[in-house]
Structure 1
Amino acid sequence: MTTTGRRALLVAGASAAAAALTGCTSEEAGPRRPDAAEEAAAREAERVARAEAALRRRAVTASRTLLARYDAVLAAHPGLHARVAPLRASAAAHASALGEGDRPTPDTSTGTPDGGTGSAATPAAATAPGAASPSTGTASPAPSIGADSAVPADPAAALRELAAAARAASDAHTAELLAAPPEYARLLASVAAAGAAHAYLLTEGARA
């Protein structure tokens, strides 16, 4: 064998040994595991995401329950359409905004919000949820009127109960403000203010 051939053989053998050594070292080291700080950060991020999702569900449920109550009153008292329908359209737009990913800011006027379609949202649970504690996120009992409650035969009584439902939903949204992320908190505040205005217009406003 020539000198050049022996040199080539030695180089090839050294390369093969280095590759084998590298493979063994990689197998022994294994994939990098996250440290304690990274695991704690991941758990906290997951906790925050779950809490925010639960808050959004409560807000949407409160608005959809109120919307279902509007529908019940309109079905029982068609003669109230001119007075109640504009407020119902606004409530529908609020429920839609609270449930959408882009969460457009609703108009707090008593009519249909700018850009709102006034389309009906999916009816929610029968009983409006209670206000949630900002610190714990746990719902606490709140006076409310369920969407399946019988509508009073007297139109004035029906309006009073609808106003009470609007106030209950407004209070529920207000209770969530401190726990909500900034953008969603602004939306909740706007919807809560509109709900309080609706409650006034359904009762006291009519006598002004």
Structure 2
Amino acid sequence: MQLYPLFPVLHPILKPTFPTCLWGGDCNSKAIALSFDDGPHPQHTPRLLKVLDHYQITANFFWLGACVNRSPSLAKQVCDRGHWIGLHGYYHHNFPLLSPSELKDSLERTQAAIYDTCELQPEQVRDVRPPNGLFTPQTLNLLQRWNYRSVMWSVVPEDWVRPGVTTVVQRVLQHVNNGSIIVLHDGACGGEDVAEITNILIPQLLQQGFYFVTIDTLWQQSLKR
């Protein structure tokens, strides 16, 4: 079952219901965030980095701790380029299915992997995106109590089911707006196409006047509103 048609409907409902999450940036600004989940991946992420390097774009990566430990030198390359790093859990486990202690351990293990690889202090890596976008009010309360910031999305083209490069690009261009957070994947599911998709998307988005910022920049914008 493809969930893509539901995301544009869910976003305006979930955003005011869970205001402690970051769902997007300033609607009066052309700043948008391009984000990638599930990496780093030894084949897909290097190809993506070449595209980002070519256009000199700063993106955002929500990493799985297990993938960081499998590809530490690649993770260091991403970090050294100045991309913003967030957490996606140690494994791709849905947060509501984990006990509080399991969730805390998952996030702390991922922070430790990033620290060991990139020398980023845990307090520098506290943006969390739940796998599959699944969370409960308790999940958000726990994350807030542990001083993490919950980051969601506004444009989800469901690239992980590989509907085709053209389809993914069209879906993004159809729904992108000022302040959008675009979610793509450079991991095992969907990552095969991510470099090609990104290479097509970036020039078209730039042509429309959008510019790319970090998730941290969108947080700063949200504090000013």
Which has more helix, going by share of residues? 1
In which range does the TM-score fall when normalised by the shorter chain? under 0.3
TM-score normalized by the length of structure 2: 0.26
TM-score normalized by the length of structure 1: 0.27
